[in-house]
Amino acid sequence: MKYTPNPQSVVEEMLQTIGLKSLDELFSDIKAEVKVQNALNLSEGMGEMEIRRRMKDLAARNLTTEDYPCFLGAGAYDHYIPAALEQLLLRSEFYTAYTPYQPEISQGILQSIFEYQTMICKLTGMEVANASMYDGGSALAEACNLACTSSKGRKKVIISDTVHPEYLDILKAYSLSGRMEVVLIPGKDGAADIDTMIKAIDSETACAVIQQPNFYGILEEAEALEKAVHENKSMFIMAVEPISLALLKSPAEWGADIAVGEGQPLGNSLSMGGPYLGFFAARKDLMRKIPGRIVGQTKDLDGKRAYVLTLQAREQHIRREKAGSNICSNEALCALAASMYLTFVGEKGLKDIAVRCHQLAVYAQQQLEQVGMKLKFNKPYFMEFAVKVNDPGAANRKLLENGIIGGYELDGALLLAFTEKRTREEIDQLVAVLGGK
C-alpha cells in the first residue's frame, strides 16, 4: 500500500516547477556517507488483503478476554464498554485531529476536554483537573514531582509498598532527576503501615502517598496519615480507582491535595496495557502548578461562550526548561472515551456497576471459603482480593486449561478481580477449579 497520491507524472511536473531533475536532488544537502546505501532491510509492502490476513493470524495467536472470562485485574480491568462509545470514537474529526491549538476550529474538542475535566472533578471531588496524563503510574510520578518541586527543597516522598509495583518502578525512574527521594514503607498484612509512614514524616517530607484501594484490592485507613501529613505542611497524594469512587469516599473527602489514577476502567479497552489515560486532579490553589493541558472557558469577541487551552505559561512550549513538566501530547482520545463512558452509564449506572463488582467479589469470597480456601489478607476490599494457593503458577495453568484467565500471581496467592462482566457461572467455575474439584 502507498498513501502518496501523486503519480510519477505529477511528481515530475512538480520537480520541474522547483527546478530539480530528480527526487534524489531533494537530498543533496545530505552527505553520501550518511545516506542509506542499500534498501532498508524491511519486507516488501503489503496490500490490504494481505494485511488483514496477517493481522488476523497474529490476533489468533492470542487468547482474548472476549472469549475467555478474565479474573485478572492488578491495575487494568475488564469492564463493559457501551456500543455507542465505540462507534462515536470513530468520528474521524476527533481521532485525526491534533491538540486543539486553534480554538476557532477546535471548539468541539475543547468542549469535550472541558466536560472531561468537570467529570473528573466531580468523581474525585477535587477542584481542578487537567486534560489527562499518560496513565495512572506516570500521573502519580508527576504528582510526586510537583509536590517536591513546589515545596522549596523538600525531597522525600513517603510511599507505601502497597501501591501498584509498576507505579513504584515508574516513580523510581522519575526520581533519577535527583529532585525526589523515594522512601518506601513496607505494608503490613496487605495494607499500608500507617504508623510507620507517619513516623517517617519529617521536615524533608514533600508528600505521602497511598493507593485506594491498594494494589491488593484492600481499602486503606487514610485518616491518621492525612492529619499527620498536613500537620507537617506536606502534601497528601492519593492514587484512586475511578469506578470505585461511585461507592467509596472521594479523595477530596479523605483530604487529598492531589488525586491521580488510572482511567482505563472508564470505557477504554484492555489493549495489552495501553493506550490508557491517567487522570490528575488537585486543590484549586495548585492550578497554576499542575502539569499538562488545561482547557478553560472564556468568551469570543462577540461574547459567545468559548473554550481555549489556558494557563499555558506552565507548559514546556512557553517555559521551556523552566516548565514543571515536559508533557506535550496526552491521551485526549482516551479521555474523551472516559467522559463518554460516564455519560452513557450515568451516575446511577456507575454506582450499579461499582456495587455489582463488589457483590460479585463478596460472592466469590464466600464460595471460595466454602471449599476451604482462605483470603491472604482479612481486610475490607472493593472488587479485588488475594486468595491463598500453594502454587499460583500451577493454579493459573489449571484455570487456563479450563478456559479461564486466572489471577495475578503473588507470593502464595492469586490476586483476583471481579468486574460486572463476570457471571455467577464463571465464578462458580473458577471456584470449582481452584477448589480442586
End-to-end CA distance of the chain: 54
How many CB atoms sit inside 10 A of residue 183's CB? 17
Position 384 contacts other proteins (CB under 8 A): no
Length of the chain: 437
Position 410 contacts other proteins (CB under 8 A): no
The smaller minimum CB distance to other proteins, of residues 233 and 412, is found at: 412
11 φ, ψ (degrees, to nearest 5) = -60, -45
Q: How far is the CB of 201 from other proteins (least distance, A)?
A: 22
Position 257 contacts other proteins (CB under 8 A): no
CB 212 within 8 A of CB 260: no
The smaller minimum CB distance to other proteins, of residues 64 and 203, is found at: 64
Position 182 contacts other proteins (CB under 8 A): no
Part of the chain binding other proteins (CB under 8 A), chosen from 131-139, 188-196, 200-208, 229-237? 131-139
Q: Is the CA virtual torsion 276, 282, 288, 290 positive or negative?
A: negative
Residue 99 exposed, middle or buried by CB count within 10 Å (0-12, 13-18, 19+): middle
Contact pattern for other proteins over residues 307 through 346, marking x by CB under 8 A: -x-xxxx-xxxxxxxxx-xxxxxxxxxx-x--xx-xxxxx
Q: How far is the CB of 301 from other proteins (least distance, A)?
A: 4
Chain residues 189-218 in contact with other proteins, contact rule CB under 8 A: none
CB 208 within 8 A of CB 237: yes
Position 353 contacts other proteins (CB under 8 A): yes
The crossing angle, in degrees rounded to 10, of helices 332-370 and 424-434 is 60
The smaller minimum CB distance to other proteins, of residues 233 and 380, is found at: 380
Q: How far is the CB of 308 from other proteins (least distance, A)?
A: 5
Position 394 contacts other proteins (CB under 8 A): no
Q: How far is the CB of 394 from other proteins (least distance, A)?
A: 12
| Angle ∠(413,415,416) on CA atoms, nearest 5 | 130
Position 423 contacts other proteins (CB under 8 A): yes
- Choosing from 173, 224, 371, 432, the residue that interacts with other proteins (CB under 8 A) is 173
Question: What is the DSSP pairing of strand 205-212 with strand 181-185?
Answer: unpaired
Position 90 contacts other proteins (CB under 8 A): yes
Q: How far is the CB of 223 from other proteins (least distance, A)?
A: 7
- Choosing from 211, 214, 234, 250, the residue that interacts with other proteins (CB under 8 A) is 250
* Cell numbers standing for residue 40: 532498508
Q: Which residue, chain included where needed, has cell 498536613?
A: 230
The smaller minimum CB distance to other proteins, of residues 54 and 233, is found at: 54
> What's the CA gap between 85 and 268, in Å, rounded?
10
Q: Which residue, chain included where needed, has cell 462577540?
A: 302
How many CB atoms sit inside 10 A of residue 14's CB? 12
CB 216 within 8 A of CB 160: no
Chain residues 258-277 in contact with other proteins, contact rule CB under 8 A: 262, 269-277
Question: Which amino acid would we find at residue 395?
Answer: A
60's CB contacts (< 8 A; 6+ apart) are: none
Position 160 contacts other proteins (CB under 8 A): no
Position 387 contacts other proteins (CB under 8 A): no
> What's the CA gap between 414 and 121, in Å, rounded?
34
Applying CB under 8 A, the site for other proteins has a residue count of 205
> What's the CA gap between 251 and 260, in Å, rounded?
9
- Choosing from 363, 388, 398, 402, the residue that interacts with other proteins (CB under 8 A) is 363
Q: Which residue, chain included where needed, has cell 456497576?
A: 353
- Choosing from 69, 74, 226, 375, the residue that interacts with other proteins (CB under 8 A) is 74
Position 183 contacts other proteins (CB under 8 A): no
The smaller minimum CB distance to other proteins, of residues 56 and 437, is found at: 56
Chain residues 4-63 in contact with other proteins, contact rule CB under 8 A: 4-6, 10-11, 13-15, 17-18, 20, 23, 26-31, 33-36, 39-48, 51-52, 54-63
Position 221 contacts other proteins (CB under 8 A): yes
Q: How far is the CB of 417 from other proteins (least distance, A)?
A: 10
> What's the CA gap between 23 and 8, in Å, rounded?
11
Q: How far is the CB of 171 from other proteins (least distance, A)?
A: 8
Q: Which residue, chain included where needed, has cell 452513557?
A: 344
Position 398 contacts other proteins (CB under 8 A): no
